[in-house]
């Protein structure tokens, strides 16, 4: 499960990288730039949730 979580984090980082290349800073709120921003924010949320899951699993193992 630990490696699966790390894989998901890596994929989210890859999505952020791909989306960053699609950004147009001249018109950031329309077209592909808006979609790229949404994907980047969603990927950041996934990373935060996976880190919370890793920490909670670590605490659970120490508690037992």
pLDDT at 10 over 90: yes
Q: Whole domain around residue 46: which residue ranges?
A: 2-63
The larger pLDDT score, comparing residue 33 to residue 10, is at 10
List pLDDT tens digits, range 23-35: 888 888 888 889 9
Which is higher by pLDDT, 53 or 25?
53
Q: What percent of the chain has pLDDT over 90?
A: 73
Longest CA–CA span in the chain (Å) reads 54
Statement: residue 47 has pLDDT above 90: yes
For the question of whether the overall pTM of this predicted structure is more than 0.95, the answer is: no
Cβ-Cβ contacts under 8 Å for 40 (sequence gap 6 or more): 15, 16, 19, 20
Count the domains in the chain: 1
């Amino acid at each position: 499960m630990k490696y699966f979580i790390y894989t998901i984090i890596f994929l989210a980082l890859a999505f952020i990288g791909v989306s960053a290349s699609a950004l147009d800073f001249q018109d950031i709120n329309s077209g592909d730039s808006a979609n790229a921003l949404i994907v980047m924010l969603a990927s950041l949320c996934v990373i935060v949730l996976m880190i919370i899951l890793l920490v909670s699993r670590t605490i659970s193992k120490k508690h037992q």
